Amino acid sequence: MGALDAIDLAIMRTLQENGRISNAELAERVGLSPSACSRRLDMLEKSGTISGYHARLSNKALEYKMMVIVHISLSGQFAKTLTEFESAVRLCPNVLVCYLMSGEYDYILRVAAKDLEDYERIHRDWLSALPHVVKINSSFALREIIDRPNVGL
Amino acid sequence: MGALDAIDLAIMRTLQENGRISNAELAERVGLSPSACSRRLDMLEKSGTISGYHARLSNKALEYKMMVIVHISLSGQFAKTLTEFESAVRLCPNVLVCYLMSGEYDYILRVAAKDLEDYERIHRDWLSALPHVVKINSSFALREIIDRPNVGL
DNA sequence: TTCGTCTTCGCAAGGACATTCCGCAGATTC
DNA sequence: GAATCTGCGGAATGTCCTTGCGAAGACGAA
């Protein structure tokens, strides 16, 4: 797989910002003919450098107005404990992000809820039911300052 | 703005998974003629229900392998203090997410870095330079379990 | 019921677009 | 210098997107 040159990066940057423009417009923006642009895009997709395209839905429109950051501690760091916890957390549709962390807590989660009542349900039915959990700490987001899908190139 | 019916949700779900399929294929998947589908999609975009489309770039290809969760405390919660901090943090391209939080810390950030050296640079040049900060706590993600853009519909 | 209105559908047309083939030009190798 | 390789632009063809138009169903008022 060849290295990415400046035009490849321009294509990636453009599609990261506006993932549904036509190939013709993309070609014009990066200074290439449509045919050449189409070939490069095809290469970027097939090589996995661009792994997909996703519509960003307004959480407001979906009525997910509440974002909760959840810190979780487990009863141990054994491989089996971690695996069982991770398999369970993957099933909860409201968990947008989950990372195994260094530091005070074992996992950090980002959970979307419609309102406080909805979060109470998620906490009761999903989070409390996760295996090996010994401590759950929920912090509520008061305001969103930034929410980017990728690093600004 | 009218309510979203089942077909609107199907359009949103489909484009969330595959944001660059043609309108013709989208129409077929949701069981509509291309023209009707195009009109509905236009409405969803103009109303802000679909707020954009983004290519998902392989972090491996971009070499952003490190994800850091940063907790930040400010010297006060005055409106001016918050505004100045937020204006500054918006300028840092490595900050993917920033929320004003309830609880122990004032802000929580998700920062992408290429490696530890890169994070050291970000910490020195950006995070430490943010105004009114009195405490920065960095936690490193050891492994990504979940990273969804939206709630699973 | 019957009429008018509103919404949203499908169909058709023409203009734009995506993709593929082909030839060319510059770089690299032998 | 010839062969090879790579990546470009132009042309062609089949497909797609968009807009205008008429029709069908839902709904309320006379």
Question: Domain limits of chain B?
Answer: 6-46, 59-140
- Tens of pLDDT along chain A (153 residues) come to 567 889 999 999 999 999 999 999 999 999 999 999 999 999 999 999 999 999 999 876 777 889 999 999 999 999 999 999 999 999 999 999 999 999 889 999 999 999 999 999 999 999 999 999 999 999 999 999 998 888 876
Give a three-class secondary structure readout of A50-87. Answer: EEEEEEEECCCCCCCCEEEEEEEEECCCCHHHHHHHHH
Interface probe for A, chosen from B83, B86, B145 (most Cβ of A below 10 Å), is B145
DSSP state of B3: P
Nearest residue: Cα versus C1' of D11: A35
Whether the CB of B119 is below 8 Å from some CB of chain A: the reply is no
Of A48-52, B58-62, B87-91, B107-111, the poorest mean pLDDT is in B58-62
Residue A134: Cβ-neighbour burial (10 angstroms; 0-12, 13-18, 19+):
exposed
Q: Which fold has domain A66-140?
A: Alpha-Beta Plaits (3.30.70)
Whether the CB of A142 is below 8 Å from some CB of chain B: the reply is yes
What distance in Å separates the CA atoms of residue A80 and residue A71, rounded to the nearest whole number?
20
DSSP state of A123: I
Write the pLDDT tens digit of every residue in B2-34.
678 899 999 999 999 999 999 999 999 999 999
Q: How many CB atoms lie within 10 A of CB A150?
A: 19
Q: Please give the pLDDT value at position A64.
A: 87
Q: Please give the pLDDT value at position B129.
A: 96
Give nucleotides in strand D with any atom < 7 A to a protein C-beta.
Answer: 7-11, 15-20
Q: Which CATH architecture has domain B6-46?
A: Orthogonal Bundle (1.10)
A16 phi, psi to nearest 5 deg: -70, -35
Helix (H, G, I), strand (E, B) or coil at B20: coil
Strand partners for B55: A53
Q: Which fold has domain B59-140?
A: Alpha-Beta Plaits (3.30.70)
A131 CA to chain B: closest CA distance, Å?
A: 15
What distance in Å separates the CA atoms of residue A50 and residue B132, rounded to the nearest whole number?
38
Residue A81: Cβ-neighbour burial (10 angstroms; 0-12, 13-18, 19+):
middle
What distance in Å separates the CA atoms of residue A25 and residue A30, rounded to the nearest whole number?
9
Q: What pLDDT band is residue B1 in, cutting at 50, 70 and 90?
A: low
Q: Please give the pLDDT value at position A63.
A: 79
Chain B CB contacts of A139 under 8 Å are 101-105, 108
